[in-house]
Amino acid sequence: MPELTYRQAITAAMAEELRRDERVFVMGEDARADLWATSGLYAEFGDRIRDTPLSELGFTGAAIGAAMTGLRPIVDLQIAQLVYNAFEQIANQAAKSRYMYNGQVSVPIVIRAAMGYGGSSAAHHSDRPYPMLMNLPGIKIICPTTPADVKGMIKSAVRDPDPVIVFEDNNLMLQKGEVGGPEDVVPIGVGKLCRIGEDVTIVAIAGAVPRALEAADRLADEGISADVIDPRTLVPLDRDMILDSVRKTGRLVVADPANRTCGAAAEISAIVAEEAFAALRAPIRRVTAPDMVVPFSPALEAGFYPDADKIVAAAHSVVGGHDAEVFAGAH
C-alpha cells in the first residue's frame, strides 16, 4: 500500500478516474497550474484539465449542463467560499433536476471545495459552508479526513450518478497515510468507527476528527473510553452507526468546526434526541465554532474551533467526572 499525503491522495483519485473513464474531466480556476490538488494533472491529461475564467456561477452551471448530457465533470472551486458564488446553480440545477424532471436526467457532477480555516485566512476565506448545503435535498456531501478516505471517496463521488460536493479540510492536507489502489473505493454514506469505547460517543466532523482522537486518548488515560465516529458523509448520514453507538454509551458529544446554528452537529443531536432518547443518560453536548464572523488575528481566531481540550471538557460534563456510575446514579 502506497503512502500519500491527503493532498496527494486527492490528486491520485482524480488521476485514476481520468484514466479509467474518458467522460471525466476537471475544470476550475488555475486547474492547469502546479497549484494545490490539481498539480501535475495537465501534464498527463492535457485538454481534459480546463482552466476557467473567474465565473464560479457560470462554470459550475456549465459543468451541470455537461453532466446532464453525458460527461462526468469534476469542478475544483479552489476555496470553499466560492460555493456561495455558485450557489444558485447548485441549488436550482444540480440538486433539483433529477427529481423535478422525474428521473429523465442525472447530474453526475463532483464539486471539490477546500476549507482553509484556522490559519489567519480571515473572514472571506475561512468559512465551513457545508451546513447550508445540508439543507438542499438532492446533493450528497462528503468530508473525508484521511488520505485513504479522501482518495476512495472522491473516486466514489466521480462514479456516483448524483451530484456530490467534497469538503476537503486544508488542515489535513499534509497528513500522511496509506491509501488504496486504483480499484479501491470508499463508499459514500458509510461512517467510520475510528475507536471503540463504552462511556461516551464522540462524533467528529472534518478537521475535528484528529482532535477527537487526541481527546479520546486523554480520556482513556482517565479511565473514560469513547467511541469516536467519523461520519465521513454528511448527506446521506450514517444514522445507524451513530444511533447504535449512543444506544451503547448513552452519551453524545458532537465536535464540528462549522458554525453552530442549524449545523451538522445540530442535526446529529436532533436525530439522536428523536430516535434514541431513552438511551441517553446525559444531555447531548455540541462542540462547534461560534456563530461569528471569523476574525483575522491569530490571537482572535485561536479559540474558535473544536480542540482536544474542549472535547475532553464536553465529555467530562456528560460522563460526570471519572466515575460514570456516580453520574448515572445522580441521573
Summarize as ranges the residues that interact with another protein (CB under 8 A): 25, 52-53, 55, 57-71, 88-89, 92-93, 97-106, 137-138, 140, 161-162, 188-189, 235-237, 239, 271, 274-275
- Quick one: which of 140, 150, 246, 265 has its CA closest to 193? 246
d(CA 124, CA 187): 32
* Residue closer to another protein, measured from CB, 6 or 25: 25
Per-residue three-class SS string for the chain: CCEEEHHHHHHHHHHHHHHHCCCEEEEECCCCCCCHHHCCHHHHHHHHEEECCCCHHHHHHHHHHHHHCCCEEEEECCCCCHHHHHHHHHHHHHCCHHHHCCCCCCCCCEEEEEECCCCCCCHHHCCCCHHHHHCCCCCEEECCCCHHHHHHHHHHHHHCCCCEEEEEEHHHCCCEEECCCCCCCCCCCCCEEEECCCCEEEEECCCHHHHHHHHHHHHHHCCCCEEEEECCEEECCCHHHHHHHHHHHCCEEEEECCCCCCCHHHHHHHHHHHHCHHHCCCCCEEEECCCCCCCCCHHHHCCCCCCHHHHHHHHHHHHCCCCHHHHHHHC
Pick the closer one to another protein by CB: 162 or 301. 162
Residue number, 239 or 248, with CB nearest to another protein: 239
Nearer to another protein, 46 or 329 (CB): 46
316 is catalytic: no
Shortest approach of another protein to residue 135 CB, angstroms?
11
Of 124, 125, 322, 331, which residue is the catalytic one?
Answer: 125
Q: Which is nearer to another protein, 66 or 314 (CB)?
A: 66
Nearest distance in Å: CB 85, another protein = 9
CB of 109 to another protein, least distance (A): 9
**Residue 48 beta carbon to another protein: minimum distance, rounded to whole angstroms:** 8
Give the active site residues: 125
